Structure 1
Amino acid sequence: MMSVNQTESSKRAIDGPNDLWRWTGAEIGAAVRHGDISAVEVVESVYARAAAVNPVINSIVHMDRERALAEARALDRRRNAGETLGPLAGVPVSIKLNVDVAGEATSNGNPLWLNRIASEDSGVVSNLRRAGAVVIGRTNTPPYSFRWFTENSVYGRTRNPWSAGVTSGGSSGGAGAAVASGVGPIAHGTDIAGSIRYPAYVNGVVGLRATTGRIPSFQATAPRRYFGLQAISAQGPLTRTISDARLALEAMACDGGIDPIWVDARLRYDDDELPTHVALVDEIDGIDVDREIQQALLSAAAALASAGYTVERVPLPDLKQGMELWESIVMSECRLGMLDAVDAIGDAVISTPVHNMAACAPDLSLSGYAEAIASRDEMRRKWNILFRRYPLVLMPTSCRLPLCWDADQGSVDEMRALLNVQSPLMAVAVCGLPGLHVPTGLARGLPLGVQLVAPAFREMRLLHAGAIIEAAHGTLIQQLWDQRPGFPG
């Protein structure tokens, strides 16, 4: 139902309604609100795209087409009746398997949880629907969302659209691959050790880990959470553009419901868009950073400097220590039952890396666990001292180019080395800080990018700086769609 009086956002040249899957969430929302396109047209276009690419990529593992189309038709009726629709009106979004969607299984990639049916939407899903988003499906994740690789014995492997030989990331690998493949402009993700930022990195999309507590995370299907999940885990969007990440964050964080961890913190500050001092980290003590990643950091730094930011090389609080604190806290909690639960699945693909991660962590007494939590508080203070002088940090997302499949299936020593190269992800997470991955280009045919980190609840500062980097480097996804239509390679 393309109208004659199209809004500016919907005037891009398209082949027809089936090309709507290429549009950004911002474009879709504006056009649906103005009546230039229908929500039904958008959903049908995205499902047509899924039919073309999902059999190869396997990012969306459950779709309720009739429910999504019914939601889209309801939005169109409301608009036609003169109602004002939300900012994500008609925007297709996908939801990770580890949060509750009413009437669907919250399996979290676990074959033993296929009957764990949610009775109601989680807070983040309710918030997205309230903004007008249409849930088009559920994205794949490893069992218990506990790998940087996404596969499980129920749904199989999610492939990276750039190359079948490298990981699609984890644990929000299905989310990252879906967005990169054109199956919805916005995907929901969770992040306790990089599970948003790493899939964003390897799939060439934007990934925002919000501050812990910014977005409600309570799940009725899993109401009891240990300290690590309460204080370290966070949620956020994976998108193709910074502008869509901003829209998604505003929707996801709008209400906390009954979540005891949610913080009603303001989103915007007067200095969000003002140039500031940036700490550049392109070398890490004791860890080699790939040359291509160092070059990406320098290129991003140059973009910020051109926009008036003052960039200086500064050492961070010890990233390896941050990773080790993560290990001490999270793996201590895993020993309380998760290791046995993983073994009950009977799949070495998940049990091997989880047990190896546990072997890399000290087996702490209660006092040792308490000391680790106290040390975490000390590390957070160190970051806050750094932020006083440098309110923005530019650093690697990972110290390596995208990992080959099964790089976590080796020995304990190999796992220890892997944890080191992923320490930029884990150190940010253990402190509950917000982190943003921004793509910058390709290296050896694979996505490349950088991570921005800011003080707690300063996501808008991250997004403004990320938009500057994005403007200087462009987006990667159009290259994927145009140059590799039969992905993966």
Structure 2
Amino acid sequence: MSPARSPLWQWSATDISAAVQRGEIRCTEVVDSIYDRIDAVNPQVNAIVHIDRERARSDAQALDAARQAGQPCGPLAGVPVSIKLNVDVAGEATSNGTPLWSDRIAQTDGEVVANLRRAGAIVIGRTNAPPHSFRWFTENPLHGRTLNPWSADITPGGSSGGAGVAVATGMGPIAHGTDIAGSIRYPAYVNGVVGLRATTGRIPAFQGTAPKRFFGLQSMSAQGVLARRIADARLALQTMAASGASDPLWVDARRDYEDDDTPVSVAWIDEVPGIGVDPTIRQALRDAAQTLEAAGYRIERATAPDFQRGVEIWRAIVMTDCRLGMVAAVDALGDPSLTTPVHNMLACAGEVDLAGYIVAIAARDEMQRQWQALFQRYPLVLMPTSCRLPLQWGADQGTVEQMRELMAVQSPLMAVALCGLPGLHVPTGMAGGLPVGVQLVAPAFREMRLLRAGEILEAANGGLNESRWMDDVP
């Protein structure tokens, strides 16, 4: 269906911006269409949990007036975007999914939000997340459970689960997300959309409501985007990363390189020793390898740095940070859906003293060098997003040993985050009524290389199976 003949909520971000700047559509029309879609679909999936319609429409009217006055509107002119609950939006609560922070009102926009607004984007709502954004499942005592539009029995992903569902069901072409263990890429996977975790430091992450950041957050957490199209993810990245003066960890790094579009050698990884990869995912990786090879990329089977060792290091650092900063708040909340997985993760990590923490940081450095050695030979890596098909609800509510097994299954997600690398999930189709896809990984700050390869896969597979956002959600 061509954009000109479809409702505006179905348009891509690139089409909306271009049409707004040409004067063919008004920003207010776009906002009204998106809210019509939200009203029709969101009650069934609970992805967007806070809306300020008056502010959004006022912003749209201001953009329309600016365009009519001949002023530049920005590369995201009129594009609706949603923001995750763990990032500051001026005048709204940065609750991060916990009632304990429901009155933590942001005085200013976080810089990633400010960058989006400066580019002409219109914030249309906040997306749901688990408390403290710390599960691969999305539910919390404040806003309840978010449902996967493909099946209510499986997770919508987490912690950017609301973002993934919003994009998959047509409630905006672009959603903001964050990722410290797969929280962008996993929701993208289970909802069948594009998910880009940028390099740590690429997009400013500092939030005035949460100024204290322990080492795990500083070194591993990243901002990013979920979208229906690679082109929209590219546009979002360029604007989200535009500036970051308030964040001491933001890197004003080069985005475009002369060889971004050049086919390179690709490490094809479809085995995870000691864990195994589901045959359906292995087939998706095989098909993706063939597609890239047909486009001129040189595909070779390769061995990745030890994913399970990466999980061990991740646990030693992040769970030690959590003991200092988050566990008391988790226990005070008293929500078993969160206390069970968090305490099981703590048990998996064990007690880490100061010497052990320092050793873990050194081990992270060694793991980063192993990835660098791999990238010297293979500038692009094709690998699983997760080792299993989408998880059933409750998969993180079992025993300590079951949590250990779950983290092993998610090790391709965690190993990338551990080293602060950029990762891109690309949907490649459906299997048994559920989405499947693959993950692409590149050296730090080479997101454009990922996006170019992702575009090739997208073109071969048709992108998002749009039946889930063009039709009613069951």
TM-score, normalised to structure 1, is: 0.96
Match of 1:461 among 449, 463, 467: 449
Match of 2:82 in 1: 94
The one-letter code sitting in structure 2 at the alignment partner of 1:305 is: E
Pairwise CA distance, 1:375: 0.3
Aligned to 2:207: 219
Residue aligning to 1:342: 330
Q: Which residue of 2 aligns with 1:14?
A: 5
> 1:259-298 to 2 correspondence within 5 Å?
259-298=247-286
Amino acid at match of 1:326: W
The CA distance in 1 between the partners of 2:216 and 2:469, in whole Å, is 39
Q: Which of 160, 163, 166 is the aligned partner of 1:178?
A: 166
Whether the 8 Å CA contact 2:3–2:15 is kept in 1: the answer is no
For 2:388, what is the secondary structure of its paired residue?
Answer: coil
Q: Which amino acid aligns with 1:298?
A: R
Q: Is 1:192 matched up with 2:180? A: yes
Deviation at 1:257, TM superposition (A): 2.1
Classify the secondary structure of the residue corresponding to 1:336. helix
* Paired position in structure 1 for 2:36: 48
- Per-residue CA deviations over 1:408-450 (Å, capped at 9, x if unaligned) read 0011111011000000000000000000000000011000000
* Corresponding residue for residue 486 of structure 1: 472
1:411 aligned partner: 399
Query: Over residues 78-137 of structure 1, what are the superposed CA-to-partner deviations in whole Å (9 max), with x where a residue is unaligned?
Result: 000011211100000000000000000000001111000000000100000010000000
Give the Cα separation in 2 of the matches to 1:101 and 1:77: 23
SS at match of 1:99: coil
Structure 2 equivalent of residue 422 of structure 1:
410
C-alpha distance in 1 between matches for 2:86 and 2:230: 24
TM-score, normalised to structure 2, is 0.99
Give, in angstroms, the shift of residue 196 of structure 1: 0.2
CA distance in 2, matches of 1:36, 1:11: 15
Measure the CA separation in 2 of the matches of 1:281 and 1:377: 22
Q: State the Cα deviation string for residues 279-302 of structure 1 (Å, max 9, x = none).
A: 000111111100000000011111
Alignment of 1:156 with 2:147, yes or no, is no
Other-structure match for 2:64: 76
- 2:246 aligned partner: 258
8 Å Cα contact 2:426/2:454 also seen in 1: yes
- CA RMSD in angstroms comes to 1.0
1:418 match: secondary structure: helix
Question: 1:406: Cα distance to partner?
Answer: 1.1
Q: 5+ unaligned residues in a row in structure 2: which ranges?
A: none
Verify the 8 A CA contact 1:159 1:168 in the aligned structure 2: yes
Q: Per-residue deviation at 1:476?
A: 2.4
Instruction: Trace 1:346-385 onto structure 2 (pairs within 5 A).
Output: 346-385=334-373
2:318 matched residue in structure 1 = 330
Contact 1:439 1:447 in 2 (8 A): yes
1:11 is displaced (CA, Å) by 6.3
Could you list the runs of 5+ residues in structure 1 that have no partner in the other structure? 1-9
Query: How far apart are the structure 2 equivalents of 1:292 and 1:219?
Result: 40
Other structure's SS at 1:357 match: helix
From 19, 28, 47, the counterpart of 1:59: 47
In structure 1, give the amino acid aligned to 2:137. F
Contact 1:100 1:120 in 2 (8 A): yes
Q: Which residue of 2 aligns with 1:7?
A: none
| Alignment-mate amino acid for residue 447 of structure 1 | P
Render the CA deviation track for 1:247-305: whole Å, top value 9, x for unaligned. Answer: 00000000012100000101000100000000000111111100000000011111100
Maintained 8 Å contact 1:163/1:487: no
Q: In the alignment, is the contact (CA less than 8 A) between 2:201 and 2:250 conserved in 1? A: yes
What is the distance in 2 between the residues matched to 1:307 and 1:228?
38
Structure 1 distance, partners of 2:435, 2:467, is: 11
The SS at the match of 1:258 is coil
Once the two structures are TM-superposed, the CA of residue 339 in structure 1 deviates from its matched residue by 1.2
Aligned residues of 1:25 and 1:91 also touching (Cα < 8 A) = yes
Distance in 2 (alpha carbons) for counterparts of 1:142 and 1:467:
31
Rounded Cα–Cα distance in structure 1 between residues aligned with 2:265 and 2:198: 21
- Measure, in 2, the Cα distance between the counterparts of 1:458 and 1:262: 16
Q: Distance in 1 between matches of 2:333 and 2:350?
A: 25
Q: Secondary structure at the match of 1:447?
A: strand
Give, in angstroms, the shift of residue 14 of structure 1. 2.0
Structure 1 partner of 2:117: 129
Structure 1 position 479, deviation (Å): 2.7
Question: Which letter maps to 2:232?
Answer: D
Shift of 1:403: 0.3
2:288 matches 1:300 = yes
Q: Distance in 2 between matches of 1:54 and 1:370?
A: 46
Structure 1 contact 240–477 (Cα < 8 Å) conserved: no
* 1:319 to 2:307 alignment: yes
Match of 2:94 in 1: 106
Structure 1 stretches of 4+ with a deviation exceeding 6 A read none
| Amino acid aligned to 1:487 | V
Q: Following the alignment from structure 1 to structure 2, what is the Cα–Cα distance between the partners of residues 308 and 459?
A: 19
Aligned residues: 474
Aligned to 1:335, the other structure's residue is in SS state helix
Displacement of 1:486: 3.3
**Aligned equivalent of 1:208, options 188, 196, 201:** 196
CA offsets, 1:163-208, max 9 Å, x none?
A: 1110000000000000001000000000000000000000000000
What percentage of aligned pairs have identical amino acids?
67
